[in-house]
Amino acid sequence: MATAHRAYFGQSGTGKTTLAADHAADAGANVLFFNTQEEDVLPGFTRADRTDLLHLLAAGRIDYVPAADDRTARMELDVIVREMFKHRERHNVLIVDEAQEYAPEGSRPGPLELVARRGRRHNVELWVVSQHPADLAKKVLRQVSTVYLFEMPYSDQYLRQQNIPVEHLRALHEEGGEYSYAVWDGLNLDGPHRLDLS
C-alpha cells in the first residue's frame, strides 16, 4: 500500500521539483507529474499528451502538462485521480506542481483533497510542490506526513503555524548552502541535506 503524502516547499529555483523527481525514481510506483509550469521533462519521465494519458498511467513515470486554462486543467486532474483510484492493485504517486492552484485555501474540495483524504486506501500517494504553502488548503496540508523545506524567506507565518522552528530552519539552510533543504516530520526538523545536481 501507499506510504505517506509529502510536500516539497521552497522558492523558485531551489530544487524542490528536482528532489521530488529523485524521490519518484526510488518510489517503486507509477508516477504522474502534473507539470503546471511546463518545466523541462524530468529525467526518467515520458511526456504524455491528452490522447495517450490514461493509457500511459500504468507505464512508469509520466510528465503531463495540463491545459492552460484553469477550468480544463482541474477537470483533467479530476479524471487522473479517478483513474488512479480505479487501479488499487498498483502503487501510484501523483506529484502536483504549484499545488495551491488546484487546492487553494478556502475553496470547495476538489481532486487534491480527495487524494489527501482517501488516497492511501486506493494506493495513491499525493506529493504537493509549492512556492506558497500558506495558500494551500489546510485539508491537504493536514494529511501530509513529511515536508521537504527549501528556502522560503517569505513564509514565516506558515512555518510558525506548523510549529516548524523558523530560526533553526534558517540556520540549517545557511549551513547547507545553495540547494539545501530540511525535512520536517511533524515533530523533528532534520538537516541540512543537500540536493546533488551532478
pTM exceeds 0.75 for this model: yes
Give the span between the Cα atoms of 27 and 43, in whole angstroms.
14
pLDDT of 3: 65
pLDDT of 29: 85
What is the full per-residue pLDDT of the chain (198 aa) written as tens digits?
446 899 999 999 899 999 998 898 888 888 888 888 877 767 778 777 777 766 666 667 788 888 888 888 889 899 889 988 988 888 899 999 999 999 998 888 889 999 999 999 999 999 999 999 999 999 999 999 999 999 987 778 888 888 899 999 999 999 999 999 999 998 999 999 999 877
Is the domain spanning 5-194 CATH 3.90.420.10? The answer is: no
- Which residues, 6+ apart, have CB-to-CB distance to 136 below 8 Å? 99, 100, 103, 104, 105, 128, 130
Give the span between the Cα atoms of 159 and 167, in whole angstroms.
10
- Which residues, 6+ apart, have CB-to-CB distance to 52 below 8 Å? none
pLDDT of 170: 92
pLDDT of 147: 95
pLDDT of 38: 79
Give the span between the Cα atoms of 194 and 61, in whole angstroms.
24
